[in-house]
Chain A
């Protein structure tokens, strides 16, 4: 579904979004949306504005212009946050005080003002750790886990929420090939999941993602089915790779 098409009740909507940080424009006039069940890759080179866009969509950064909606609401108390899960690029969890993987995942069950995880939280957290292959490390402090294992804990912390919308920022950073494949397989098993994944390159996600949004220097330059995007556009081995496969005409901005 490209940005030119209007979708009723999108889960995520960005309309003419611009973001200024420190006097510099990071995102320029971004318009896009996610419909239920879509699996979308947000692709681009380092510094293209992918993480800023995700953080703006989540309400962590205020846009300087334009509008954001999550589940039809501007980011705030009205958003049904329990239906959403976010996997940040990195997490300070466990950096200050020893934190076990189980505790980190159980914290994912909190939502809204209620200060306690729901009943059965421990069992749900253990199942989520099992999904990412880390049940044996449930009692291990995060600081003794490898970077890839810590990233899988963050994924478990998101999956334990049983979200309808999953937003992941560079989930493959520090994850080895086998773990990356296991991660994608775990996502495939979740029915009706809408997924937005920030990626430097599609890699193991290529078969999972149906649509690609490509950012360059803070501008949306392509929004098309992943199969129509040129391999170079989704791998970013070049500074300005071609966007479309040979002979394919992309809709929207290119």
Chain B
């Protein structure tokens, strides 16, 4: 037993792991807050679409950085942020204009994002392998400045989601009613998409752009199996995201697995267990009173 304890203590004494843990917990808590609004608006795949566009942004950042003579990759994250926010706003405008259906607009983002990223990184003098760290995350290679920037962004996203939650909720739950109440729904929907874009670029360091949406959506999927209100769904999803982030990181460290993929696999395993055990729990909760000894309510 003391062997295990020594192992955990040794692990937590590693500054690299402490930094990774901080980022995994903060991003794990912030991502589902924004994900709750996406699930409410039935745009669960928006994060994936934005992730693909962010890849073009990463490559564009590399290209501009190379042109300016900067260290390769210096502008990769800023490029991803700009491209992701621009892409999310454009898809929102396209969706609301009604000229292209939401899923078609998403499909265009998927294809254009990956193709643009692969082509531009070659132009910037890199290779497709350069993009791997962004596609699958690089939690174990975070520098102190990466951690501080990621943590600040995660806190900003968390606060923005919490401050704007009532307006985002109203605009997302029933748009015609919200518009007839004078709520600027287009503004809030764009804000929601832009927050999702920021979340994608923050979370790409944890799980990578290919899995980024999982961090936003899977905790919400787990939470809504049991929650009875929007506020609780969001709160529980944030808690599940933070715990899963930490637990996934420890598991990855223990078994020497890729952290991002481990976090996502763990979250999906929790969902599978919760979803399959739910009918049993409900059955037990509604047992006839003569079996429980409790009066019927």
- A residues whose Cβ falls under 8 Å from a Cβ of B: 55, 58-60, 77, 79, 81-82, 84-86, 88, 91-100, 102-104, 106-108, 110-113, 115-117, 139-141, 154, 157, 161, 167
Whether A59 contacts B179 in the complex (CB less than 8 A), given A96-B41, A97-B220, A100-B230, comes out as: yes
Contact of B179 among A60, A106, A116, A161 (CB under 8 A): A60
Q: Closest residue of chain A to B35, judged by CB?
A: A97
**Given A97-B36, A99-B230, A103-B230: A111 and B183 interface contact (C-beta under 8 Å):** yes
Q: Is the CB of A96 within 8 A of B167?
A: no
User: Which 4 residue pairs are nearest across A and B when measured between Cβ atoms?
Assistant: A81-B182, A115-B167, A86-B180, A100-B229
Task: Give chain B residues whose Cβ lies under 8 Å from the Cβ of A167.
Answer: 180
Q: Is the CB of B176 within 8 A of A86?
A: yes
Q: Mind listing 28 A-B residue pairs with CB under 8 Å?
A: A58-B176, A59-B180, A79-B182, A81-B180, A81-B181, A84-B181, A86-B177, A88-B176, A88-B177, A96-B41, A96-B42, A96-B173, A98-B227, A99-B229, A100-B230, A102-B229, A103-B229, A107-B178, A110-B166, A110-B167, A111-B182, A111-B183, A112-B184, A115-B163, A115-B164, A115-B168, A140-B228, A141-B229
B195-224 near A? 1/0 per residue, CB < 8 Å: 000000000000000000000000010001
The residue in B42, B169, B184, B187 that gathers the most chain A C-beta atoms within 10 A of its C-beta is B169
Contacts of B40 in A (CB 8 A): 96-97
**Contacting residue for A103 out of B168, B172, B180, B231, CB 8 A:** B231
Set B39, B227, B228: member contacting A96, Cβ < 8 A: B39
Shortest beta-carbon distance, B11 to chain A, in Å? 36
- Is A93 a contact of B174 with CB atoms below 8 Å? yes
Question: In the complex the two chains form, what is the Cα distance from A157 to B181 in whole Å?
Answer: 11
Secondary structure of the A side of the interface?
loop
Question: B: which residues have CB within 8 A of A?
Answer: 36, 39-42, 163-164, 166-170, 172-174, 176-184, 187-188, 220, 224, 227-233
Chain A positions within 8 Å of B184 at CB level: 112-113
**Are B181 and A98 in touch, CB under 8 angstroms?**
no
Q: Is the CB of B169 within 8 A of A103?
A: yes
Give the chain B neighbours of A107 by CB distance below 8 A: 166, 169-170, 173-174, 178
Per the bound structure, the CA–CA distance linking A108 and B187 in Å amounts to: 18
**Which residues of A are found within 8 Å of B177, using beta-carbon distances?**
86, 88, 91, 93, 108, 154, 157
In the bound complex, CA of A235 to CA of B229 (Å): 39
Assembly CA distance A94 to B294 (angstroms):
32
Q: Nearest Cβ distance between residue A214 and chain B, in whole angstroms? A: 24
The complex places the Cα of A160 from the Cα of B178 at a distance, in Å, of: 14
Q: Which A residue's beta carbon lies closest to that of B172?
A: A96
Q: Are A111 and B39 in contact (CB under 8 A)?
A: no
A86 CA to B180 CA, complexed, in Å: 7
Asked if A104 meets B228 with Cβ closer than 8 Å, knowing A110-B183, A112-B183, the reply is no
- Within the complex, the shortest CB–CB distance from A129 to chain B, in Å, comes to 14
Q: Give the distance in Å from the alpha carbon of A85 to the alpha carbon of B180 in the complex.
A: 7
Cα A98 to Cα B220 in complex, Å, equals 10
Q: Which residues of A contact B163 (CB under 8 A)?
A: 115
Chain A hits for B227, CB < 8 A: 98
Neighbouring B residues of A104 by C-beta, 8 Å: 173
Asked if residues A60 and B173 are in contact (CB atoms below 8 Å), the reply is no
Task: Return the chain A residue nearest B179 by Cβ.
Answer: A60
Which residues of chain B are near A85, meaning CB under 8 Å? 181
Contact B174 A92, beta carbon cutoff 8 Å: yes
Residue on B nearest A89 in the bound complex, by CB: B176
Docked Cα-Cα span, A199 to B62, in Å, equals 61
